[in-house]
Amino acid sequence: MLVFEDEDGREVLRAPLAEWLPEAHAVGILELKPMKCLDRTGLTDLAAALGIPVEESRSPLDGAPRQPAAASDRAPARVLHGDLPRWHSWIRGLGVFGWFIALVVAFAADVDWCLPVAAAALFSVPAADLVVRAGAWRRRRRDSRKFAEETLYTSVPMAGPESTPRFRRTASVRVLPRDVVITDTVGRERWIGRDGASGVARTVRLMSPGAREPLGVEFRDGRGEVRALLPWRDWFAGPQGQAAWQALVSALEVPAVDGGMRRPGRPNVDPEPWWTGHPLAADARMMSPLPAKEARSETSWHRTVIGGNELLLIPLLSMLLLTGLLSDSAPARLAGLLSALTIVSEWVPAAMKSLISRFHYDRADGNV
């Protein structure tokens, strides 16, 4: 956590470093010293440009300000990134709560019109998800347009059973005038600057100790820290891969050197990936084609955003009113119809995504 204080020591701004560290998902911030983590974010350069001294706290920082502000002062601002809009959480919470209250009233007071109210409240849960997912799809379509002065590089993997359409279509390196945008196999982006000490200043092609064959490519910043790791086999070992590598080096306009890669000594175990023991081993894994099951898990809306239990819980709750489709009562039939729509809204998108993954997107066909 980076805390900005005024002259009196009162907090005015909090910036969680994990929100600013491009490779936070690949390198646990607990493995980095606070100042090194601060350097990687570029906030050290920002503080120096503003003339603000930076100190490292010796004690853990809790949720409350270290020095309470006066009653007239505002609470310190927080620089946070929200993956979901706030209204989404409110609608989901009110939907489940409204379903429960309306259902209790319907059965306790025998009020038929409360049944469709309960079903409509529960339908708002998957409906809110669909609205957010539709907005995210539109943003992806908009953001997928080519940036001005952008140079795009996609993977050129070696032909083999590991190659999948998802990896070839999603993984990429985009070189912009001031940034390098690295996208992994599940579409997660990492923006690294090209200027300053925290920007990409050198590429290192890691070579195997014996055969001197390329293993991977490191992107290093001005301080010599590794910021990204691309497996050579999955990015430059295919047809025209060498040309793609030379073009990437030319676009980055930074020195490119060859370096050695030492493997941990474990001779009595099965062969492990060459990146075992590398600080960015997790990064290399995500910059490679993933097994179909793991790729579905990493891109699943319910498992990674909402929670896998919703896929069972919401349809199960909807089934309480689904029998209303067979009733002679108009409110009960309406409640049954809304319950059916709720089940369809939960299961159909998940089923379609799974089928597309199994039969196309994550099918290991080896075609390049």
- Which two tokens mark 268? 């009595």
6-19 pLDDT, tens digit each = 777 777 777 777 77
198 confidence band (pLDDT: 50, 70, 90): confident
Four-CA torsion 55, 58, 63, 64, nearest 10 degrees? -80
pLDDT at site 41 = 77
pLDDT reported for residue 306: 77
Reported pTM? 0.74
State the pLDDT at residue 160.
60
With a CB cutoff of 8 Å and minimum separation 6, the contacts of 105 are 111, 114
- Would the pLDDT of 269 be above 50? no
Q: Which helix (H) or strand (E) holds 340?
A: helix 330-356
Q: Please state the rounded mean pLDDT for residues 203-211.
A: 84
Q: What is the average pLDDT score of the chain? A: 80
CA distance linking residue 116 with residue 327, whole number of Å = 13
3-class SS string, 107-118: HHCCCCCHHHHH
| 16-29 tens-digit pLDDT | 777 777 777 766 55
pLDDT at residue 59 greater than cutoff 70: no
pLDDT at 209: 79
* pLDDT tens-digit series, residues 69-126: 444 455 545 545 556 788 888 998 999 999 999 999 988 888 888 999 999 999 999 9
Task: Look up tokens 């050579």; give the residue.
Answer: 232
Match 């805390």 to its residue by tokens. 3
Maximum pairwise Cα distance, the chain:
80
